[in-house]
Structure formats: structure tokens, C-alpha cells
Structure 1
Amino acid sequence: MFDFFWNLGSFIFALGILVTVHEYGHFWVARRAGVEVLRFSIGFGKPLYRWYDKHGTEYVIAMIPLGGYVKMLDGRVDDVPSDKQHLAFNNKPVMSRIAVVAAGPIANFLFAIIVLAAMYMIGVQSAKPIVGNVQVNSRAVQANIQSGDHILSMSGKEVNTWQDVTFSLMSHLGEDVIEVKVKDAQQQIAIRKINVDGWKLDKQDEAPLTAIGIMPFRPALTLTLGHIAKESAAELAGLQINDTIKSLDNKPVTSWQQFVQIIQSSPNQTLSLNIERNGINQIIQITPQARQGQDGTMQGFLGVVPLLEKWPDGYIETRHYGPLDSMVLGAEKTFELVRLSFDMIGSLLTGQVSVKNLSGPVGIAVGAGTSVSYGIVAFLSFLALISVNLGVFNLLPLPVLDGGHLMYYIIELIRKKPVSEKTQELGFKVGAIVLIALTCFALLNDVSRL
């Protein structure tokens, strides 16, 4: 229950920031284009709090925190007095209307640059992309990628983190070969060629690295507890962080994997767990909770996470940058994310990425809660990623989105006359149906992941 409210609160906080940024983009440009703004609302539904500025604009914090909007004076929906015709959005030149509509997504991209720049100035700690294991009969094995290889570049572009490697893989979907520059365990530089001809991300939530057979290096799991979930069977049994597992039902436990297998095979069964706490052995009775596994069978669940062994020297890197370098890096990373987002949309349309990988608000909420728990740097990275996705999504040429309005205005710019109201109305209906269908599909994907 705690995780639910934590994720929900993090989601509302993150969404509130991003929606405010997006709508402020529309608001700021509308004001400078001479459009009268009637309302700036964060959320929908019944207003919880409202106030007015000297221009008469109403600012609203509404009950349903799932979006927002800027309401402008518009002769298509309002009765506009003759003395205010020049302030109506629909009476502005088409270039002014394009600027107002495009300002929302642009604000999201600018926000991502600023957030990423702040992240780089704080300092980014990450694991170097050093290969842990390589799956048998995988594309990575065929490319002769080996355990201990340090990936230096992908198709000529330097990579410093596993996120860089993942983004590079995703950006090369649909190609034949990816050249990977590595430094092997003997410190020798080599070029490996991964055959990605016909490669698709057609399984739900399958990571690109896993799909080609690469397992990033991670320190081994210990038998010492590092985290205990709230209201879990472990907490109810009295287990504590830093307890070390010794045996289970008088059988020695020698690895975390062995412990997990026993717990999963014992749903709702009481077991005697021997632990060491502060140098003293204790016996604790535990009863793993039952939950459904991926194969449909009931499995035991204790709610504990182990500590990891120490990272080897040189495997973790912390990078700090000055203000100017941070802004440049933030801009470069934002551009990369925008390009990758459009690439993924194209891959979804061509079937190279399965629609099973779409995430909706539940997936975003879980991501928000997880990133907040990891600290400010992880949360800033999450905010930047979602801000870019929000901007790109709004640029899709669906009439109910900013991109749909831009499409109509660009057509008007070319034809020298607006698109007919009948055509626009039909487009809005089709766009709404497509948007609702996408939302429902993403929600179904979210539910299937729970």
C-alpha cells in the first residue's frame, strides 16, 4: 500500500511539473502574440484553488491532476465582442497560431535541456558498460562479444553508460550490422560486428540488451538483506536490514538464487529461517505470501532484496561538468532523445517494436516512484525523458493534439485558406478515437505488468 501511494504521489508531482511547463509554453507565446488568455488550468474538473492576475486571466488548480490546458479567446467557441476581435486566437495570422501551438512541445524540450544540464552539474554516477555474461546462441555470441569486454563505442559514437548503449541499439533498429568497439579483459582494442538484420523488439518489456544476448556486469548478490518491503511477509516475520541468511529448515543456504527458489516453491508455508544478526544466530519463522507467477502458478514471495558485493575498482564512474558544458550536453542528449522517440514511433508503425512495449500512466507512475526513491539525479533523468516523450507525443499529427493543429495550420499556410470546419471536425473525431485506443492499449499493457 505504501508503494502505491508513493508511486501515485510521485506521478502527480512529476506530471504537474511537466504539464505546467507545457501549458506555460502555450501561455507565454500566446501573450506575446497578442492573444487574450482566459484561463490557465493545471488539472481538470472542479477547481480546488483559483486566482486572477492584472490581465484578468484565471489561474486554476483543479481536482483531477491528469493534464491541463490554456483557454484562449477564440471566435470559434466564444462570443467575441467587436472591441476584442483583435485579441482572439482565430483572428491572428497563421504564423502566430503556429507559434502558439508549437510552444508547448518546444517548452518540454527546453525544460529537458535545463533538467539534464542540472543533472550533469550535480554529477552523474554510472556503471561503465562492461559485459558481465553473454547468452548462448545469441547475436552477441555470434559477434564474439565476451565477458569482461568494455564497450567503448557503437557505430563510431562513444558510449559511457549502459543507457548510452541501449539508446544506440534502439536507434539502429532496421539496420544490418552494428560495429561495436570494445576493450577486452586483456586491455586489447577490438571491433565486433553485431548482426541485427531482422532483429525486432517483439516481446513485452524485453530490454534491447537482453534481446541481443548481453548481460551487463553486476556485483554478485550476497545473503545479507539490504531492503525489506513494507507490509511484506519479511517485515511481518521481523526480518531486518543487514540480517544474513544462514539456513532454511536446517538446510544450509549457499546462494541467493537457492534461497529464492525455496521461497518461490513455498507459498503460504511456514519455514524456519536461521539468520545472523549482530553476530548472533537467531531462528525466525517466516511464511511467504502467495502471488501468481508469470507461468500462472502460485509462487511464494517474501519481500526482501539482498545487498550486492562491492563494485570492482574502476567499474563505477562519476562525471561532473561545468555550467556551459552541462548545457551543451543537455542539448545534445535532448536532441538524441527526440530523435530516438521519433525512431521508436517509426519502429512501432513498421512492426520492429511491438505495441506490447507501450506504457501508460501506471507504467509512468511506477517509473516516477522508482526514480524518486533512487535520488535527485535519477528523478531529473526521468523528468527529462518523460518531458521529451510528452513533447514528441504532442507533435503527432492527430487533430486532438498540438501536432494535429499544426498540420491544419501548415496546410492553411500552403493553401492560403483554412481547412474547412467539416474536415477539421471529422479529423478531431478520428484523432480522438485513435488517442483513446492508444491509451486503452497502453493501460492494458500496464495492467499486464502488475
Structure 2
Amino acid sequence: MHSLIFFLIALAILIVIHEYGHFWVARRCGVKVLRFSVGFGKPIWQKVGKDGTEYVLAPIPMGGYVKMLDEREMPVSEEQAQFAFNRQSLAKRVAIVSAGPIANLLFAILAYWLLLVVGVSGIKPVIDDVRPASIAAEAGLHAGDEILQIDGNDTPTWNSVYKALIQKAEYGEKIDITVSSASIKQQHSLILPQVGLEQVGNILEQIGIEPLRPAIKPILGEVMPGSPAEKAGLKAGDMLLSAQQETIPSWNQWVELIQASAGKKLDIEVFQDGERIALTLIPEIGEDGKGRIGAAVDASQTAIPQELQAELRYGPIEAIKYAVIQTWDFSSSTLKSLWGMITGKVSTDNLGGPISIAQIAGSSAEQGVMSFISFLAMISITLGILNLLPIPMLDGGHLAMFAFEAVRGKPLSDTVQVQIQKVGFLVLIMVMFIAFFNDLSRVFG
């Protein structure tokens, strides 16, 4: 229920932003807007504004729409014809249709700007160990090095390091890493291994770097529905105490044990609801062959030593540049992933639907307002990019038809446009089916 509430909040925010983009530009292009709807279906709330637009809240929260005066959909008097969408110039129609996705991207820039101005706390990216003969070792990195920059971009926290590496790892690209080694700045180059989306979370392990982290208390912050952790009876807030009658004080040690115990029965003890109880936990076998239980740690319960505390923050003006860069980088990564799915280089198993999004929404909200804003920024970018794809029924599909109109000199016939819309509808249904199927597979195994 918690995840569902924040999923609906996130969806409502992003739908309003997207549709308001269409609405705002349409009004300024002289088009009459008949209805502004958040959600689909029979209205549960509606009001006609002074501008004559009907504002609607509908029960199916899977999108929204802006209905404009259009002679192709309804009879329009000659006096009102000048305000119809279909009577506008090609440039105005392109502006109106593209305004929704652009609004999503602008919102992401604003969200990232806010995060960068307020500051994002984290842990200094100091290397604890470098695996011998690894990519990092061959590049010249050593234990004790602090990563300062990747490809010229500052990386004051491990989170910023992860983001910089993930942007390059999917296709295996060369990067330049600037480190502080014994207070001396050094630059090293290395080629990242090409890894799939399901492996990017282990990118540091892939290149042979072990981060220096404080001993994190093994207190659970999230338990995924249908996961081995939930089946064992674990809940958010539980503190893991021991396994096989041996006390395990840190989360890192628990991770090592679970990864090494795929498919094996672990007799554990946890502190739950004020008492010490015994449970049986069986980690499932992950795609990398290692054990996993579908639970995350609540790092906020562990105090970070002063010498490892760091913060990613910029001034209001400088933050604009990095907010744009961050939005561009995530947009590029999204497009690469989509292209990878189309070409078969990236598995469609990585496609997530509403269940996955709801789980991430709830998890990010639990971690605080800034985490939830970051989540909104990423989903807003994804929504904007997806809507720009040249698929009929999406904004990108309309833009593709406008491009054809510009080349041909006149629009496609209404009959052809209807048939194209039907094809687009089938494509969207197929994508939604895959996303739902992946969600259900993750939940029920």
C-alpha cells in the first residue's frame, strides 16, 4: 500500500507536467483546449474553468490527455475554426505535440538542479582494495586512492562514481579516472567491460575495485514482495543478528554470506518487533550465479565517520550546467538501452512495468524527499524519451507524421492515419504485456 501511494503520487505529478506542456503551448498557439484530463475513464471530479477548459480527474492513472478543438473529431463552426488544432501551421502543431516530452525533460533538469544546490550526501570514493590482475590493477589504481573525477566530471561520492561508470559500462567504453594517491593527483585510463543492465550494479567488482565503506548495521530498509526474504518472514526494520549460530555484525558480511549461499538453507536470528526470533532463509540463485534474498539495507541507521563523509553540491548557477549534463547523460543511457533491446544486445527482461516502478517509488520515498525527487527526475526523463519514439499514438508518432507531411507537402489521409494509429496501439499493448510479464516474474519467481 505504501509503494502504491507513492507510485500514484509520482504518476500524478509526471502526468500533470507532461500534459501541462501540451496545454501551455497549445493555448499560446491560439488553439482552444476543451479538456485537460489526469487519468482515463469516467471522471471522478471535473470543473470548467474561466477559460472554458474542462479540468478532469479520472480513475485510471495510466496517463492523461489534452483534448483540443479539432475538425477531424467533431463539427466546428466557421467562427471557431481558426482555433482548431488541425487548422494550425505545421510549426505550431510540432511545437504543441513536442511540448509534453520537453516539459518532462525540463522538469528533470529542475529536479537535478534542486538536488545539486541543496546537496546530495554520500561517502567519499576511497578504494579499499584492488584485485590483482584486474582491469583496475592493470590501469594503475591502488588501495587508498580517492577517485576525484571520471572523464573530467567531479565524483565526490561513491554514488556519483557509480553513475559515471554505469553511463559507459553498457557498451564497454574507455574512461579516464583522476585519483588522489598519497595526496598526489594522477590520471589513469581503462576500458570498462561491456555488461548488461542486470550487472551494472556490480560494475566496481567487474573492474576489480573494493570500496572503502563503514561497517553498516544489518538493519533492513526494504523487503521486495515475493522475495526469499519475505518468504522467510523478514520485514523492513528487522536487524539481522546471526546465521548458523555465528554472530554477523555488519551488512557487508551478510552480503558475502548470502552471495555464497545460493540455494542453501540458512538458520538465522533477527531482532523483530522487540524480540529475538529464529527464521529459515534460503537465498535464490541470481543471474550471476550468486545468492540473493531481495532485501536492501537501511544505511541511514549507520553513522558515517567524519573522514568518509562527502557531499555533491554546486552553486545555483553552476548547478544548471551539471543538471543539464545529468539529464543528457541519463537520456543518452535510456536511448542506448532502448536501442540495445531493439537490436537484441540488451535483454527485454530489463523492461519494468508499474509494479517495479511502484516498488522503486516506495523505496525512494522511504529514503527521504531528495531520493524521491531523484526518482521523479529519472522517471520523467524516461517518460519524455519514450513519448518521443516514432510509435503511432505516442507524441513521437505524431511528429513522425508531421515530418512526412513536411516532405510530402500535405498530411496523410485520415484513413491512413487511423490505420497507423491501430498499428501503434498494438505495439504499445505488446510492450505493456512484456513489462507486466517481467514484473510478475520478478514477484512470483
Structure 1 residue 150, shift from structure 2 partner: 1.9
Judge which range, 410-419 or 256-265, deviates more: 256-265
* Equivalent position of 1:448 in the other structure: 441
TM (norm. structure 2) is 0.82
Say whether the 8 Å CA contact 1:127–1:316 is kept in structure 2. yes
Of structures 1 and 2, the larger Rg is shown by 1
Q: What is the aligned counterpart of 2:156 among 147, 157, 160? A: 160
Structure 1 residue 151, shift from structure 2 partner: 1.9
TM (norm. structure 1) is 0.81
SS across alignment from 1:121: helix
* Structure 1 residue 190 corresponds to structure 2 residue 186: yes
Question: Take 2:357 and 2:235, find their aligned partners in 1: how far apart are those partners?
Answer: 32
**Superposed CA offset, 1:185-220 (max 9, x none):** x33433332224xx4333635424444444443222
* Equivalent position of 2:363 in the other structure: 370
**Superposed CA offset, 1:129-182 (max 9, x none):** 333455566533443434433222223333333444334334435465322222
Q: What is the aligned counterpart of 2:387 among 382, 387, 394? A: 394
Matches within 5 A, 1:416-427: 416-427=409-420
Say whether the 8 Å CA contact 1:171–1:343 is kept in structure 2. no
Say whether the 8 Å CA contact 1:201–1:352 is kept in structure 2. no
* Equivalent position of 2:406 in the other structure: 413
Structure 1 residue 319, shift from structure 2 partner: 4.3
Judge which range, 90-99 or 163-172, deviates more: 163-172
* Equivalent position of 1:84 in the other structure: 80
Say whether the 8 Å CA contact 1:288–1:301 is kept in structure 2. no
Question: Take 2:174 and 2:71, find their aligned partners in 1: how far apart are those partners?
Answer: 55
Judge which range, 412-421 or 224-233, deviates more: 224-233
* Structure 1 residue 19 corresponds to structure 2 residue 15: yes
Say whether the 8 Å CA contact 1:112–1:334 is kept in structure 2. yes
* Equivalent position of 2:70 in the other structure: 74
User: How many residues align structurally?
Assistant: 429
Question: Take 1:140 and 1:431, find their aligned partners in 2: how far apart are those partners?
Answer: 46
Structure 1 residue 403, shift from structure 2 partner: 0.8
Question: Take 1:237 and 1:220, find their aligned partners in 2: how far apart are those partners?
Answer: 21
Q: What is the aligned counterpart of 1:219 among 203, 214, 221? A: 214
Q: What is the aligned counterpart of 2:56 among 56, 60, 75? A: 60
Say whether the 8 Å CA contact 2:25–2:96 is kept in structure 1. yes
Matches within 5 A, 1:170-181: 170-172=166-168, 173-174=170-171, 177-181=174-178
Q: What is the aligned counterpart of 2:195 among 186, 195, 201? A: 201
Structure 1 residue 98, shift from structure 2 partner: 0.4
Question: Take 2:235 and 2:80, find their aligned partners in 1: how far apart are those partners?
Answer: 70
SS across alignment from 2:41: strand
- What one-letter code is carried by the residue in structure 2 that aligns with 1:128? K
Structure 1 residue 431, shift from structure 2 partner: 2.4
Structure 1 residue 347, shift from structure 2 partner: 3.8
- What one-letter code is carried by the residue in structure 1 that aligns with 2:20? Y
* Equivalent position of 2:117 in the other structure: 121
- What one-letter code is carried by the residue in structure 1 that aligns with 2:426? I
Change (3 A) 1:19 1:361: same
SS across alignment from 1:204: helix
Question: Take 2:82 and 2:294, find their aligned partners in 1: how far apart are those partners?
Answer: 66
Structure 1 residue 235, shift from structure 2 partner: 12
Change (3 A) 1:413 1:283: closer
Question: Take 1:109 and 1:429, find their aligned partners in 2: how far apart are those partners?
Answer: 28
Structure 1 residue 233, shift from structure 2 partner: 8.5
Say whether the 8 Å CA contact 2:220–2:295 is kept in structure 1. no
Question: Take 1:416 and 1:238, find their aligned partners in 2: how far apart are those partners?
Answer: 62
Question: Take 2:234 and 2:393, find their aligned partners in 1: how far apart are those partners?
Answer: 52
Say whether the 8 Å CA contact 2:47–2:55 is kept in structure 1. yes
Judge which range, 115-124 or 164-173, deviates more: 164-173
Matches within 5 A, 1:27-426: 27-134=23-130, 138-172=134-168, 173-174=170-171, 177-184=174-181, 186-196=182-192, 199-202=193-196, 204=198, 206-207=200-201, 208-222=203-217, 225=219, 245=241, 251-256=245-250, 257=253, 266=265, 284-288=276-280, 294=286, 310-426=303-419
Stretches of structure 2 that go unaligned for 5 or more consecutive residues are none
Q: What is the RMSD computed on CA atoms of the aligned residues?
A: 3.9
Structure 1 residue 8, shift from structure 2 partner: 0.8
Judge which range, 382-391 or 310-319, deviates more: 310-319
Change (3 A) 1:239 1:91: closer
Question: Take 1:300 and 1:192, find their aligned partners in 2: how far apart are those partners?
Answer: 34
Stretches of structure 1 that go unaligned for 5 or more consecutive residues are none
